[in-house]
Structure 1
Amino acid sequence: MPQNRETTYQAARAVAQQLEAHFDKHLTTARHQGDTNLAEAPRAKTIELILDTAFWASLRHEEGRPPRISLAFLSPEQAEQPLLFQQHLPFSSYVLTKLGPGVERPGIHLGVWLKEGELCVWGTTRSIPSLCFVVDVSEPGLLVIKHKRIDGFGKFANVAVLKGDQVKMIDEEQNSMPDCPNMLSSLLGFTTRSSWHDGINVLVQLAVSMREHRRGGLLLVVPSDSKTWEESIVHPILYAVTPAFDGLAALMRQDEEEKSQPAWQAALRREVDSLAGLTAIDGATILNDRYELLAFGAKIGRPMKSVPVERVTITEPVLGGGAATVHPSQIGGTRHLSAAQFVHDQHDALALTASQDGRFTIFSWSPCEQRVQAHRIDTLLL
């Protein structure tokens, strides 16, 4: 595949320079801070070619199914225990489609690198260096550009999302907005290594799992030292849990050494998926801030002395997204309106709302604005 060939996917051409600048900036900063095991930043033309080929591959089918692949730009020497092809394969949409069924499991990357000036596929790897350029192809016409975090923990940090001709570049400055929830800051990459062993990581994993079941769902996170949230729930609660189920809480109470073990991480994933599954049931799933399950299928009601929520500030962490003040009915349906009303009445609570179409919104109270904030974060969860 000649590096000078013309690309036909216009979104790739439009975003390539921005992506080159992003990776250059973060890798330069990491080197100045003394970080090691860093990737190499791809040039704009290389980025354009990778995105162009990945996009057209996403529209092809192999045995009736579109490919689900992850492409990582690194040399074989930068990978640990790579699976090496005897002959490097041409980097083409045809090759990616053919390889797709064998590499669609999470954590497997197809290694892409330049050989004699040409892009090629050299094999697969599960281990990539920090800030490695990764393109995730999860559905037709959808590309997510991301990178591995410096410390290697937690979900990869998303950089941009391309869907058809629509381009969304993640705005890393969103973490500086007033009352930005810790969960949003963590997804934008502004957390310490230790935070990925605490509740921030759990909420991120719950959000990802809620989104994956594609049935829609609502998770309320309430304080463990107060019962005022019960005023916003219709009683009796049909699916109340007594005593509170502490499967997830028990895992979170274990020490840091236990949390670093693969067995603990696997157990956490099982508990997260089980809890996220309950959010598919009509109504709200209620979790306290100690991660104890209190109820599911609960109905949200407005307390007698409360007034209906009229205005919500909605944001999306993408460049040019800005903030808008709207009526909550403009954000989504009944589930979103109920989530906004709950947080409007219970300022110390958090509401995580998943739509069937994949949209995901965090509702939180802003003391600065004295208003509910709605943060659209589906671009960060892909």
Structure 2
Amino acid sequence: MIGKSTYKAAREVAHIVEDHFSRQIDAAKAQNSTHLATAPPARIIETMIDAAFWASLRREEGQSPKISLAFLQPEQSEQPLLFEHRLTLSPAVLTKIGPGVERPGIHLGVWYEGDYLHIWGMTRSIPDFCFVLDVSEPGLLVVKHRRQEGFGKFVNVAVLTGDQVKIVDEQSAHMPDCPDLLYSLLDFSSVSVWNKSLNVLVQLSVSMRSHGKGGILLVVPAGSEAWRPSIRHPMRYAVGPSYDELTKLMRRKEDNDPHWQDEIKRAIDAIAGFTAVDGATIISDRYELYGFGAKITRKVGSTPVDKLIMTEPVVGGEAIIDQPALSGGTRHLSAAQFVHDQRDAIALVASQDGRFTIFSWSNCENMVQANRIDSLLL
């Protein structure tokens, strides 16, 4: 029944999420955008989160459910799969149906009638700014939506882990020296920003995180050799000449072509796969692959990085200046040193535990900044 929840965090976050979706959809309507979703009321958000949370703690044949719920009517999707009989939105039903809908891109369609929510079927097509609730693992839920007319990763709005709630802070995109990659992840409604090539770095980040082995991706200026003194040579898996499949695909750039999208995904996954090899993977800002398994070393004449500024783009997250070792392990320390020595480069670092950090140079603070973004990549 709508509004009857027992998960405390669902009640705490519902009105915040309602406000976000209302603002985004109203702003899109003001720009005469079409194919927009219906903004979900707080009581429906609360009920969906409650059912999904308790379902996440259940098991079906020893497996925890991984499901995606989308709030929309069948008429708002293309070629929906309709159940002959509606299913009640409950933890028991979600657990039972979970194994059949855990593949990426499949959403269970949820709507309401009176005071009850029901599951009407499944869909792969949802409107812009559609409320989506992902069950990623036991006790971990992610509220997100499809980016307006964008190809690629959905926008995360909130992350709930047990009794911990993280609300993504939209204002983080306006902080000084915000890395372009972080700006792209935080800019909820800008079509022009998202459809630039920054999308590739977002997809690389998601793919790096998904292989679960940890890794470092260094992005250096194309045509420059300045980064080489920060790498121990010979580089075991150097690529010569540089591998430019992804570069050529981005020059073609056909966002609405499914075949092109598949090719892009395969090329991105290939590069992200190299980051699982011990050492750093190096690409240019045009996505040319220079090598992988590289060992980072302190540049001759450079000083060791002794402090950095750490941030996380969530509400209540404050910038902290601390020692680099506290940002993570050896990967994080070596990435911070690389950016300290190569200030026009960025380093993307994935940890085996799922943490993900962007290292870049802050001209305002005159030090390395570490932006933890795993809450945006789930």
TM-score (norm 1): 0.96
Q: Cα distance, 1:191 vs. partner?
A: 6.8
Q: Which amino acid aligns with 1:181?
A: P
Distance in 1, Cα, partners of 2:44 & 2:21: 13
Distance in 1, Cα, partners of 2:75 & 2:324: 51
Q: Cα distance, 1:166 vs. partner?
A: 0.3
For residues 227-268 of structure 1, give each alpha carbon's deviation from its aligned partner in whole angstroms, at most 9, with x where no partner exists. Answer: 1110101111111111111121121122x4x44311111011
Alignment of 1:307-322 (within 5 A): 307-322=303-318
Distance in 2, Cα, partners of 1:4 & 1:208: 34
State the partner residue of 1:3: 2
Paired residues of 2:357 and 2:372 also in contact (CA < 8 A): yes
The alignment partner of 1:94 has SS state of helix
The alignment partner of 1:124 has SS state of strand
Is residue 73 of structure 2 the alignment partner of residue 75 of structure 1? yes
Paired residues of 1:284 and 1:300 also in contact (CA < 8 A): yes
TM-score (norm 2): 0.97
State the partner residue of 1:112: 110
Answer with 73-82 or 50-59: which moved more: 73-82
Distance in 2, Cα, partners of 1:359 & 1:116: 42
Paired residues of 1:206 and 1:272 also in contact (CA < 8 A): yes
Distance in 2, Cα, partners of 1:321 & 1:297: 34
State the partner residue of 1:298: 294
Distance in 2, Cα, partners of 1:278 & 1:4: 47
Distance in 2, Cα, partners of 1:117 & 1:134: 20
State the partner residue of 1:146: 144
Distance in 2, Cα, partners of 1:69 & 1:60: 13
Distance in 2, Cα, partners of 1:348 & 1:280: 24
Is residue 354 of structure 2 the alignment partner of residue 353 of structure 1? no
Alignment of 1:143-182 (within 5 A): 143-182=141-180
Distance in 2, Cα, partners of 1:249 & 1:109: 32
Q: Cα distance, 1:195 vs. partner?
A: 4.3
Is residue 348 of structure 2 the alignment partner of residue 329 of structure 1? no
For residues 115-142 of structure 1, give each alpha carbon's deviation from its aligned partner in whole angstroms, at most 9, with x where no partner exists. Answer: 2331000000111111111100011000
Answer with 22-31 or 271-280: which moved more: 22-31
State the partner residue of 1:266: 262
Q: 1:242 to 1:232 in 2, by over 3 A?
A: same
Structure 1 counterpart of 2:124, from 118, 126, 150: 126
Distance in 2, Cα, partners of 1:131 & 1:358: 26
Q: Which amino acid aligns with 1:64?
A: G
For residues 43-92 of structure 1, give each alpha carbon's deviation from its aligned partner in whole angstroms, at most 9, with x where no partner exists. Answer: 11111111010000001111111111000011111111100001111110
Q: Give me the identity figure in percent.
A: 61
Paired residues of 2:24 and 2:189 also in contact (CA < 8 A): no
Distance in 2, Cα, partners of 1:281 & 1:373: 25
Q: Cα distance, 1:144 vs. partner?
A: 0.1
User: What residue ranges of structure 1 are gaps of 5+ in the alignment?
Assistant: none
Q: Between Structure 1 and Structure 2, how many residues are aligned?
A: 378
Distance in 2, Cα, partners of 1:204 & 1:152: 13
Distance in 2, Cα, partners of 1:81 & 1:179: 44
Is residue 361 of structure 2 the alignment partner of residue 365 of structure 1? yes
Q: 1:13 to 1:232 in 2, by over 3 A?
A: same
Q: Cα distance, 1:24 vs. partner?
A: 1.4
Paired residues of 1:222 and 1:350 also in contact (CA < 8 A): yes
Alignment of 1:185-224 (within 5 A): 185-189=183-187, 192-224=190-222
Distance in 2, Cα, partners of 1:4 & 1:195: 37
The alignment partner of 2:227 has SS state of helix
State the partner residue of 1:377: 373
Structure 1 counterpart of 2:19, from 18, 21, 39: 21
Distance in 1, Cα, partners of 2:157 & 2:2: 23
State the partner residue of 2:280: 284
Q: Cα distance, 1:302 vs. partner?
A: 0.5
Paired residues of 1:153 and 1:193 also in contact (CA < 8 A): no
State the partner residue of 2:38: 40
Distance in 1, Cα, partners of 2:368 & 2:198: 20
Is residue 258 of structure 2 the alignment partner of residue 252 of structure 1? no
Q: Cα distance, 1:154 vs. partner?
A: 2.4
Distance in 2, Cα, partners of 1:67 & 1:191: 31
